[in-house]
């Protein structure tokens, strides 16, 4: 199908294939059992396939859409062999995902024109938020962009220290205050510093507490409001980081955060250490928010721009 034209470099594709290895192996082991002894895609195979997709963390809603598409194809083509199921899944899931967010990026970039481009990063503690910020800063810097980091997660000393480690590693400036400082004050200082330095990109870390949605919403709203005193339309991107290894819990976090604040893009991390990579397919389909980045390894290069067709190609290869 025309969805699967080569977009990524062979090295990047290899990293993606490797990062999804556990998810792929788990999925195909389940799929083999689901079609054992069957030569034709019939109702039993479809029932089993539904269970395989749900237990692979694709999510019930997205699974039902996929099954419906395959049922339509079985009805149209009259006979489909189980040996074709892999290719059919690959094509139908790509077709489903192509219905939303068409025209994805394949490289790390920011919109042309006004700078600095301000990214506010949100997500619960432990999802890989700070690591994602560090790797993102590295990729932007590699593109020749001037990056400034802001340590506005002031509730944990560890968060400030971790961001400092990444700033040192990537060799980009960081604006920080002491633990317990007002996050909005840090964000304000960061943007002022970025404007003074003619920075291209600002990445602001924020606190990851989700036990009280009202407090979280108020805090993030205040941070946004204060940033806008320096850059009128900031933030330009509110990036929610989700831990892919938590499977369905990542869906729940996405629901909670999108209810608490306006999220404009998603990053799904830790896909290499888990068999739950199917969660990216479900999240990409269900939330009308683009998945922008995925983490497929621990190396500094292993944060990738998410391209749904390359992802589906690697997953069902």
Owner of token pair 């593109």: 143
Residue 267's beta-bridge partner residues?
Answer: 241, 293
CA dist 183 and 186 (Å) reads 5
Which runs of consecutive H residues, i.e. helices, occur in the chain? 10-19, 21-34, 43-55, 60-77, 85-97, 129-142, 157-170, 183-196, 213-227, 248-260, 278-286, 308-315
Q: Say if residue 282 carries a ligand binding annotation.
A: no
Q: Is 221 annotated as a binding residue?
A: no
Q: Is 272 annotated as a binding residue?
A: yes
Q: Are strands 265-269 and 201-205 parallel, antiparallel or unpaired?
A: unpaired
- Known binding residue 124? Answer is yes
Please measure the distance between the N-terminal and C-terminal CA atoms of the chain and give it in whole angstroms: 14
The answer on whether 209 is annotated among ligand-binding residues is: yes
Q: In this structure, are residues 110 and 81 in contact, taking their beta carbons and an 8 Å threshold? A: no
258 appears as a binding residue in the annotation: no
3-state helix, strand, coil in the chain (%, to 5): 50, 15, 35
130 known ligand binder = yes
- 127 belongs to an annotated ligand binding site: yes
The response to whether 189 counts as a known ligand-binding position is no
281 close to 250: Cβ distance less than 8 angstroms = no
Spatial distance between the Cα atoms of 256 and 264, rounded to a whole number of angstroms: 14
CB 1 within 8 A of CB 91: yes
206 marked as binding residue: yes
DSSP H/E element including 85: helix 85-97
Picking from 202, 140, 155, 200, the residue whose alpha carbon sits closest to that of residue 175 is 202
To the question of whether residue 299 is assigned a binding role by annotation, the answer is: no
Q: Which helix (H) or strand (E) holds 265?
A: strand 265-269
Q: Does 126 belong to an annotated binding site?
A: yes
- Known binding residue 271? Answer is yes
Is 29 annotated for ligand binding?
no
Binding-site sequence positions: 123-130, 205-209, 269-272
Binding-site sequence positions for GTP: 123-130, 205-209, 269-272
């Amino acid at each position: 199908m025309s969805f699967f034209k080569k977009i990524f470099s062979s090295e990047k594709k290899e990293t993606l294939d490797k990062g999804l290895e556990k998810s792929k192996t788990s999925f195909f082991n389940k799929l083999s059992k689901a079609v054992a002894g069957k030569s034709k895609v019939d109702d039993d195979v479809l029932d089993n396939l539904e269970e395989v997709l749900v237990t692979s963390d694709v999510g019930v809603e997205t699974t039902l859409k996929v099954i419906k598409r395959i049922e339509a194809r079985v009805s149209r083509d009259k006979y489909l062999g189980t040996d074709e199921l892999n290719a059919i899944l690959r094509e139908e899931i790509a077709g489903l995902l192509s219905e939303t967010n068409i025209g994805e990026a394949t490289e790390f970039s920011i919109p042309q024109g006004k700078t600095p481009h301000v990214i506010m990063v949100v997500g619960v503690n432990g999802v890989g938020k700070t690591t994602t910020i560090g790797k993102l800063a590295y990729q932007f810097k590699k593109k020749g962009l001037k990056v400034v980091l802001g340590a506005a997660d002031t509730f944990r000393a560890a968060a400030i220290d971790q961001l400092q480690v990444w700033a040192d590693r990537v060799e980009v400036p960081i604006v920080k205050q002491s633990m317990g400082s007002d996050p909005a004050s840090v964000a304000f200082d960061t943007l002022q510093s970025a404007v003074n330095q003619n920075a291209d990109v600002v990445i602001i870390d924020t606190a990851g507490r989700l036990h009280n949605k009202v407090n979280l919403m108020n805090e993030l709203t205040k941070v946004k409001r204060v940033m806008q005193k320096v850059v009128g339309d900031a933030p330009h991107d509110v990036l929610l980081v989700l831990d892919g290894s938590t499977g369905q819990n990542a869906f729940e976090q996405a629901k909670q955060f999108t209810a608490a604040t306006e999220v404009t893009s998603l990053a799904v991390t830790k896909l290499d250490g888990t068999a739950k990579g199917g969660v990216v397919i479900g999240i990409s389909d269900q939330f009308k928010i683009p998945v922008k980045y995925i983490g497929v390894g621990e190396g500094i290069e292993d944060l990738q721009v998410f391209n749904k067709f390359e992802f589906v190609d690697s997953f069902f290869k």
